[in-house]
Amino acid sequence: MKFIENGVCAAKGFRAAGIHVGVKTHADWKKDVALIVSETPCAAAGVFTRNVVKAAPIHVDIAHLENGVARAVIANSGNANACAPHGEEYAERMCAAAAGVIGCEPGDVLVSSTGVIGQTLNIEAIEGGVRKLYDALDASAEASDAAAHAIMTTDTAKKEAAVETVIGGKTVRIGGIAKGSGMIHPNMGTMLCFLTTDCAISSGMIRAALLETAEVSFNRISVDGDTSTNDSCIVLANGLAGNAEITAKGPDYDAFLEALQALCVRLAREMASDGEGAKHLITCTVSGAESVKSAETIAKSVISSTLMKAAIFGADANWGRALCAMGYSGEAFDPEKVDVSFASAAGEIAVCANGRGLEFDEDKAKRILTEHDVEIRITMGEGGAACTCWGCDITYDYIKINGDYRT
């Protein structure tokens, strides 16, 4: 398996586009609608927010995915179409508009939105621009780039990646674009992710792979503790790679799952790294835990701690905040078996052993924590399980961004 270029256009038979149609009225140069289309119908699956309050597109997608088949995704930024007048009607109209130019049934189109909650979506702008959007479709790296930019809101950088592997003697590719910078917390962590693959795999197996993948990628990141109304991850598999269709778990499924998880972990890390106002990517690895679930719960608690995030922002080796977050995670453990260290490209420094503070070089610790990518390494002495989760620091800019996000 290796990482390759071209994002959602890396897999055979997929084209993409992203243009400005007028959903974002404050910046007429910003792309605000994306379209991803397969040459042929696809096995399809999606995982969505666990927030009880769900945006209209999610209800539409759940209905459209009942048969496990789709051919295209249309998505807009600048408006979440959540808790908004005519929400589901307008989401269906987006699907119908895309279907009209593609030449497929509206039920074969999936839809996503991201942006401000509670405001009426400018559906006329989308309908009026969909022909131009379709005409812009291409299978190039530039087309995937345009689609990736069209789904961005407060993101400062696009999230895009692709992988290539061999399954059944055939080259299989998986590509993805994602957006997410704020309102991200485990449980689908506002994030959108669209994945394309030319692997031949049944709808049941693609759904199983997506569920397994979400648990070890998007559900292990946190930016600010808020789970969005719009979180969606959708995958389309058109089978054009020509491998024998994957219909059950086995070596081919495992190879596909490995590639899908590698791709989604990279996209998840990019979201955590681009947290609103963030200056640091925080990686927390908990080892020596009783179970993976226990390690995951504790790692999530540490990366979600506001005090821990603030300490990393200040390059302050305040390891007690990590131990504190472990203690209220809900997991049982012996604090006197816990070791903690901080690490980065500048080195590693042990700060706690057996639950007690160590004498350490504050200047070295500061150098380590000043790097963009910072690791919190926790060893528990409870068992042999481990888990890694990702977050970011909290900065003054986070307040600035969200204090006037709507106005």
- Catalytic residue numbers? 190
Closest CA to 230 of 3, 17, 46, 391: 46
**Do 40 and 238 touch, CB atoms closer than 8 A?**
yes
DSSP H or E segment with residue 370: helix 362-370
Helix (H, G, I), strand (E, B) or coil at 211: helix
Q: Could you count the other beta carbons within 10 Å of the beta carbon of residue 72?
A: 26
* Cβ-based burial of 52 (10 A; exposed 0-12, middle 13-18, buried ≥19): exposed
Pull the structure tokens for residue 221: 């990141």
DSSP string, 289-350: ESSHHHHHHHHHHHHH-HHHHHHHHTT---THHHHHHHHTSS----GGG-EEEEEETTEEEE
Closest CA to 287 of 171, 382, 182: 382
